Amino acid sequence: MVGDPTKPSRQLLIATVLGLAAMSVLILLAIERGSIGRVSGDEGTYVAMAESLALDFDLEFREEDEARVSGAPEPGRRTVILQRTQRGISYSKPFVPALVAAPFFALVGARGLIVANVLVLAAALVALWLYLRRLGGSGASALTLVTFAASGSLLPYVVWQTSDLLQACLALTGLTLCLGRLRKPISADRSSDLLDQNWSLWLGAALLGVLVALRPPNIFIAGIAPLALIASGRRRHGAGVATAMVLTLLAVGGVGLLVFDSAMPYKAERATFNSQTGYPAGDDVETVSTQFEAGRATSSLGVVPDWKPRVSAYSSLYFLIGRHTGALIYFPALFFLLWTVVRSPDRTSLLVLGGVIAASTFFLVWLPFNYFGGGSCIGNRYFLASYAALPLALRRPLGRWSLVGCWLLAAVVASSAVTSERITPIEGRTSQSHAHAGIFRWLPYETTASDLEGSRDHYFGKDFVRTVDPFIGAGEWIFELQSDRPAAEIALANLEREEAVRFLVHSAAPSIELEYSDYGQKVSVVLEKPLGLRGVVELAPTPPIRYHPLWFRNLWDHGKPYWVRVFRVGLRSVDGLPAAATIRFLGREKFPPDLFERTVLAAELPDSVVAGSVSRVTIRARNQSRGAWRSEGLFPVFLSYTLEPLKNGRSEVEEGQRNPLGGAIRPTAELALPLEIRWPWKPGSYRVKVDLVAEGVAWFESMVGAPLVEGTVNVVGQESEEAGGA
């Protein structure tokens, strides 16, 4: 059996197979994701920092740094986070990860951070192995080690070039070196005696000090070590560890002051550089400079939280089952580790659990939106260091049924992620492709990222619309639905809490049913052809229960929080046949009913033309409505024509190509536009109508009674034309 302690060789074999299987899944996901060079934000900043240290031996952002960042082959590298200091401009991330990665950057280039991640993770797992060998035999320890590493989002973070994996490894290694001596060895293997050496205690304390320097809330994790030592009666060791941690923290802060005049980059005035803004040199320097004042990020974080119970409660739920960060999905081993711990805890176990709960609670109270994620990394990166502390709460390796349950859950999650990656269209694949289908699609969606990689984000006025679903065609304010596909998922954010939402539906199907659903309701609307203005569907969404002060902090709305709705819109064919529809999101906008009013000034059609030829006619009309005609935006207007052959009493209308108006035609303004009409190759008499068309809504004729011009045109063959000329 999996957990049979009498068969360590078999357990070692199973652990090896499970480890290789996990690595295979990760390699497959990495291949499906595409280039790991597509970094941005935090990743791009850390890569640029390692590059700057390797090449310039500093972390200041000078002209040579700007040239490298702007000219980087990977698009994401062109965006980095900066801070303003008394000396000038520097990169604004902790320097330790870049310092660790810089030698490897010099050796292998931009992938140096990945090499560094591999090495620090290997070192942390070796330390954990020494700890687990004190709790049980080699087979059971190997199974617990592989389960912890491969079923808890540690391995995927190897390819994420941020500080998060380093933080997890610092927490795991530091706590192991400090707390390993509290577990008496039950194995004859003396290799774990390394944890009893005094140097391991002080090294562990130093690593925990660096952990706090990388992210201050990690103090809850690092503080476990001195508290556990004191609680176990080792007061001198506990005080020494606390002192060593503080001294290391001060040393790291002092180096930060020397390197870029900032001991804590999270508290500095920060802004983002990219090729478009061109900071600190370019056309928009003044605007970008104001970002250091307007976008201070976490620099405004205070000791007293801005307590919002409802937001924290919702964040707690999302922390457990959220699509991008849910612990149930991204840390399958978590609950089985907790189950094993709570069955027989001791002081050390309870202190570890207390530290993990305290660290998690800090983010849920002070920065609840940070648990929403979805911008780049896989899983909950703010929980990674807390997860790394949990093995130190174990008093024995994981049992048989815990291992079986953990790997069954991990297999379900992994198969769902791989399936989602595989079925995501190549052009829509991003770092979040694993979360688009399968069990992930059942989970609530949320994100604080204002612009997800590969997403379809559009803005209109004060509305923000994100087409979350990669399986549908999406354009500017338009998305396509099909009756044989899942409902499209859409995020809407604006400043209004109570409002109607409107869609304009266009479909060639005789009858369709539009299905709308949000967290509080499900509404179905049956639409029959012809749609036109009847295709304008107005719905009253359930009031939003969440908002994002981190979204869209800008100058024009003064940083007001945006209310966020996530809803789904699907299509069902009433007659059972496949159906498709184009949906134009109107938001709060109503279709202007008087858009069609106009006066015809000049328009003529030829009497006779040659088959296959092209005629150019000039149309002049005055806009008599109260709205402007435009060929872009929510209600695009074009100039076009229809051809209807006059034969056998049957109507087969062919529509011509849409011709843009060439700019806004405002009320009382005149439209003067040449129109090319391509005549059919088949001779005969044709009824021709030239008119304006509100795309997806109606031809102007249907609203005012007549087109701009209409008439019967004889289309003659080339032979007839030549004979008439002779």
Which among 48, 121, 387, 94 is positioned nearest to 262, based on CA atoms?
A: 94
Is residue 301 scored above 60 in pLDDT?
Answer: no
Report the C-alpha gap between 658 and 77 in whole angstroms. 40
Say if residue 562 is exposed, middle or buried (CB neighbours under 10 Å; 0-12, 13-18, 19+): buried
Say if residue 68 is exposed, middle or buried (CB neighbours under 10 Å; 0-12, 13-18, 19+): middle
Residue 643, token pair as written in the block: 């051809």
Structure pTM?
0.80
- Helix, strand, coil shares of the chain as percentages rounded to 5? 45, 20, 35
Query: For residue 678, what are the β-bridge partners?
Result: 614
Provide the pLDDT for residue 556. 46
Taking residues 700-722, report their average pLDDT.
83
Contact 275, 73 (CB under 8 A): no
Contact 605, 711 (CB under 8 A): yes
Residue 591's pLDDT band (boundaries 50, 70, 90)?
Answer: confident
Condensed to tens digits (0 to 9), the pLDDT of residues 85-116 reads: 777 788 888 899 999 999 999 998 878 888 99
> DSSP string spanning 221-256?
HHTHHHHHHHHTT-HHHHHHHHHHHHHHHHHHHHHH
Contact 159, 171 (CB under 8 A): no
Provide the pLDDT for residue 406. 92
Which among 231, 233, 452, 180 is positioned nearest to 323, based on CA atoms?
A: 452
The more confident residue out of 29 and 338 is 338
Instruction: Give the relative orientation of helices 8-33 and 400-423 as an angle to the nearest 10 degrees.
Output: 20
Q: What is the average pLDDT value for the chain, to the nearest integer?
A: 82
Residue 253, token pair as written in the block: 């802060």
Provide the pLDDT for residue 38. 65
Is residue 432 scored above 90 in pLDDT?
Answer: no
By DSSP bridging, strand 709-716 and strand 608-610 are parallel
Residue 627, token pair as written in the block: 């709205």
Q: What percent of the chain has pLDDT over 90?
A: 31
Say if residue 163 is exposed, middle or buried (CB neighbours under 10 Å; 0-12, 13-18, 19+): buried
Provide the pLDDT for residue 77. 64
E strands in 399-542: 456-460, 463-467, 474-475, 478-482, 488-494, 501-506, 511-518, 521-528, 536-539
Report the C-alpha gap between 413 and 323 in whole angstroms. 12
Cβ neighbours for 294, distance < 8 A, ≥ 6 positions apart: 553, 554, 555, 559
* Distance, CA of 315 to chain centre: 17
One-letter amino acid at 252 equals V
Condensed to tens digits (0 to 9), the pLDDT of residues 117-148 reads: 999 999 999 999 999 999 888 888 999 999 99
Instruction: Give the relative orientation of helices 8-33 and 138-150 as an angle to the nearest 10 degrees.
Output: 10
Of the given ranges (25-34, 106-115, 572-581, 617-626), which has the lowest mean pLDDT? 25-34
Q: 1-7: long-range contacts (C-beta < 8 A, 24 or more apart)?
A: 1/400, 2/143, 2/400, 2/403, 2/404, 3/140, 3/143, 3/398, 3/399, 3/400, 3/401, 3/403, 4/400, 5/136, 5/137, 5/139, 5/140, 7/139
Taking residues 544-573, report their average pLDDT.
69
Residue 721's pLDDT band (boundaries 50, 70, 90)?
Answer: low
Provide the pLDDT for residue 295. 44
**Residue 306 — φ and ψ, nearest 5°?**
-85, 85
Provide the pLDDT for residue 650. 59
Provide the pLDDT for residue 63. 80
Condensed to tens digits (0 to 9), the pLDDT of residues 376-426 reads: 677 888 899 999 999 999 999 998 899 999 999 999 998 898 888 888 777
Provide the pLDDT for residue 455. 63
Residue 720, token pair as written in the block: 């007839």
Report the C-alpha gap between 274 and 95 in whole angstroms. 21
SS (H, E, C) 264-306: CHHHCEEEEECCCCCCCCCCCHHHHHHHHHHCCHHHHCCCCCC
Provide the pLDDT for residue 99. 92
Q: Which of 467-493 are b and which e, b meaning 16 or more Cβ less than 10 Å from the residue's Cβ?
A: bbbbbbebeebbbbbbbeeebbbbbbb
The single residue listed with the structure tokens 């001294």 is: 247
Provide the pLDDT for residue 552. 47
Report the C-alpha gap between 320 and 299 in whole angstroms. 28
The more confident residue out of 720 and 307 is 307
Domain covering 455-587 in this structure, CATH number = 2.60.120
Report the C-alpha gap between 249 and 446 in whole angstroms. 35
Contact 142, 191 (CB under 8 A): no
Q: What does the domain layout of the chain look like in residue ranges?
A: 455-587, 598-725
Taking residues 569-594, report their average pLDDT.
84
Provide the pLDDT for residue 230. 96
Provide the pLDDT for residue 32. 56
Q: Which of 378-382, 567-571, 584-588 has the highest mean pLDDT?
A: 567-571
Taking residues 350-355, report their average pLDDT.
96
Which among 615, 618, 657 is positioned nearest to 640, based on CA atoms?
A: 657
Taking residues 270-282, report their average pLDDT.
55
Of the given ranges (47-56, 232-241, 295-304, 451-460), which has the lowest mean pLDDT? 295-304
Classify domain 598-725 at the CATH class level. Answer: mainly beta
CA angle, residues 412, 381, 200, in degrees to nearest 5? 105
Is residue 719 scored above 60 in pLDDT?
Answer: yes
Contact 557, 475 (CB under 8 A): no
Is residue 553 scored above 50 in pLDDT?
Answer: no
Report the C-alpha gap between 59 and 82 in whole angstroms. 10
Which among 84, 92, 532, 438 is positioned nearest to 294, based on CA atoms?
A: 84
Is residue 178 scored above 90 in pLDDT?
Answer: yes
Cβ neighbours for 226, distance < 8 A, ≥ 6 positions apart: 238, 239, 241, 242, 245
Of the given ranges (246-260, 325-339, 406-420, 538-552), which has the lowest mean pLDDT? 538-552
Provide the pLDDT for residue 31. 65
Of the given ranges (63-72, 289-298, 308-317, 711-720), which has the lowest mean pLDDT? 289-298
Report the C-alpha gap between 660 and 636 in whole angstroms. 9
* Distance, CA of 349 to chain centre: 35
Condensed to tens digits (0 to 9), the pLDDT of residues 179-225 reads: 999 988 876 666 667 888 889 999 999 999 999 999 999 999 999 99
One-letter amino acid at 452 equals L
Provide the pLDDT for residue 293. 47
Residue 441, token pair as written in the block: 């699609």
Residue 275's pLDDT band (boundaries 50, 70, 90)?
Answer: low
E strands in 529-561: 536-539, 546-548
Q: How many residues are recorded in the chain?
A: 726
* Distance, CA of 680 to chain centre: 49
Q: 128-131: long-range contacts (C-beta < 8 A, 24 or more apart)?
A: 128/172, 128/176, 128/391, 130/176, 130/180, 130/191, 130/192, 130/194, 130/195, 131/176, 131/179, 131/180, 131/183, 131/192, 131/195, 131/391, 131/392
Provide the pLDDT for residue 693. 92
Say if residue 710 is exposed, middle or buried (CB neighbours under 10 Å; 0-12, 13-18, 19+): middle
Query: For residue 569, what are the β-bridge partners?
Result: 488, 516
Q: Which of 70-79, 305-314, 451-460, 562-571 has the highest mean pLDDT?
A: 562-571
Of the given ranges (17-26, 105-114, 217-226, 527-536), which has the lowest mean pLDDT? 527-536
